């Protein structure tokens, strides 16, 4: 693995752990506002996420500026029109993989609701800027780390399946929700396929951004409408029974 890749991974890990120090600092800065302690803690966490992700993004892009145009191994990149088609198709592939993995988890007795997702949504309600982190910055960083660096490095030594499996499991473990490991692994596998198929990290990145944005729109913007529809459907089905 290239030396700069290790610096990128260290930067990403440091970003993930930085809230231990960063949130208390932001709370100390905001203590003079007279805001209730609980609200201050939540908003400090939200603002720190925005700050730390932005800082990590700029540093990682700087570290990888010479590497961004490299192809995946010796494979040729697909044309721009085909890459766009794969990016669009990738959104549906990711949603399909997510639904299959989610169904399997439900059969195994795993709750469908993601604690990680719900925490982020609660932060978005407090600080809307977090939307940009979850929809755009997060997917960009994850694709660079888990697909371009980890999967790309493994794929130079192993076949697609082994490389995608290892990188996708690491991707799942990094989210800290072991009960949803299958879900994250399925997503990682899909994005790894898009990267391997096209040789363009922008393809898997675009699909990842689009999928996260769609989830945020459904969970935040149209959440009340969806809940009303579900309540109506349950009442209708209950009436029929």
Instruction: Decide if 175 is catalytic.
Output: yes
73: left (phi over 0), alpha (psi -120 to 50) or beta: left
Q: Which candidate in 4, 41, 175, 177 is catalytic?
A: 175
Contacts of 139 (CB under 8 A, 6+ apart): 205, 208, 209, 212
Helix/strand/coil for 146: helix
Two tokens, residue 23: 């949130």
**Cα–Cα dist 146/188, whole Å:** 8
Instruction: Decide if 115 is catalytic.
Output: no
Per-residue burial over 210-222, b = 16 or more CB atoms within 10 Å of its CB, e = otherwise: bbbbebbeebbee
| Closest among 116, 156, 49 to 167, alpha carbons compared | 156
Q: Which candidate in 4, 39, 113, 142 is catalytic?
A: 142
- The answer to whether 58 and 33 have CB atoms below 8 angstroms apart is no
- The answer to whether 11 and 63 have CB atoms below 8 angstroms apart is yes
**Cα–Cα dist 187/48, whole Å:** 27
**Cα–Cα dist 55/63, whole Å:** 12
**Cα–Cα dist 212/233, whole Å:** 26
Give the catalytic positions in this structure. Answer: 142, 175
């Amino acid at each position: 693995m290239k030396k700069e890749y290790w610096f990128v991974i260290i930067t990403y890990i440091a970003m993930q752990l930085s809230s231990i120090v960063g949130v208390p600092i932001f709370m100390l800065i905001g203590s003079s506002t007279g805001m209730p302690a609980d609200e201050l803690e939540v908003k400090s966490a939200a603002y720190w996420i925005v700050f730390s992700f932005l800082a990590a993004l700029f540093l990682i892009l700087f570290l990888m500026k010479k590497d961004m145009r490299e192809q995946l191994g010796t494979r040729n990149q697909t044309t721009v029109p085909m890459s766009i088609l794969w990016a669009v198709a990738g959104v549906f592939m990711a949603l399909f993989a997510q639904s299959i993995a989610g169904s399997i988890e439900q059969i195994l007795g795993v709750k469908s609701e993601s604690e990680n997702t719900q925490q982020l949504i609660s932060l978005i309600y407090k600080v809307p800027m977090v939307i940009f982190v979850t929809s755009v910055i997060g997917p960009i960083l994850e694709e660079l780390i888990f697909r371009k660096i980890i999967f790309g490095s493994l794929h130079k030594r192993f076949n697609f399946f082994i490389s995608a499996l290892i990188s996708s499991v690491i991707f799942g473990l990094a989210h800290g929700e072991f009960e949803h490991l299958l879900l994250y692994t399925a997503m990682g596998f899909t994005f790894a396929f898009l990267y391997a198929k096209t040789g363009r990290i922008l393809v898997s990145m675009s699909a990842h951004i689009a999928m996260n944005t769609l989830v945020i729109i459904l969970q935040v913007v149209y959440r009340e409408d969806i809940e009303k529809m579900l309540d109506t459907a349950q009442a209708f089905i209950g009436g029929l029974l």
